[in-house]
Amino acid sequence: MSLPCGLQTWGLPIQTSCCLCSQLEEIKDHLLLTCVFSSQIWGQILTRLSSLTTLFHNWNDSMDWSKDNSSHVPAILRKLVPQATIYHLWKQRNNVVHNHISIPTLSIFKSLDREIRNIISSRKHKNHCHNLMQLWLQ
């Protein structure tokens, strides 16, 4: 995952501002967690999970949450949801950089929601997965 600031150190003349908000430097924590665009999607995700009232401030916060056994969110969702969210945010980033197309956050959330529902549906017959859809849709 090469970000502009890393590519610039290789001597490539690349703009380093975030392609999603154009406000701050495009570093991992900003692009995937704290960017206004990303924060809107994370807010919808965490509201859906009734998990946190505040968003993640850095990568370690998000990793700590995914490993937090005291959370009411099952471990499989604490791992699946961040992975899918990061994938969709990175896909949006590439869409903006390479195709110059920005998709609204609501559309990305709907796509992300559908992907998570499909994954949960494919696992519904496995142990510890029977109530995941109910938890996701609450």
- CA–CA separation, 23 and 43 (whole Å): 19
Interval 87-114: pLDDT, tens: 999 999 999 988 999 999 999 999 999 9
3-state secondary structure 14-82: CCCECCCCCCCECCHHHHHHHCHHHHHHHHHHHHHCCCCCCCCCCHHHHHHHHHCCCCCCCHHHHHHHH
What pLDDT is attached to residue 13? 53
**pLDDT score of 116 more than 80:** yes
CB 57 within 8 A of CB 115: no
Q: Is the dihedral of CA 93, 63, 127, 47 positive or negative?
A: negative
- CA–CA separation, 132 and 129 (whole Å): 5
Give the domain ranges of the chain: 28-137
Please name the residues in contact with 102: beta carbons below 8 A apart, sequence gap of 6 or more.
20, 92, 95, 96
Interval 65-80: pLDDT, tens: 888 877 788 888 888 9
Helix (H, G, I), strand (E, B) or coil at 94: helix
**pLDDT score of 10 more than 60:** no
Is the pTM value of this prediction over 0.85? Answer: no
Phi, psi values for residue 135, rounded to 5°: -65, -40
pLDDT above 70 covers what percent of the chain?
83
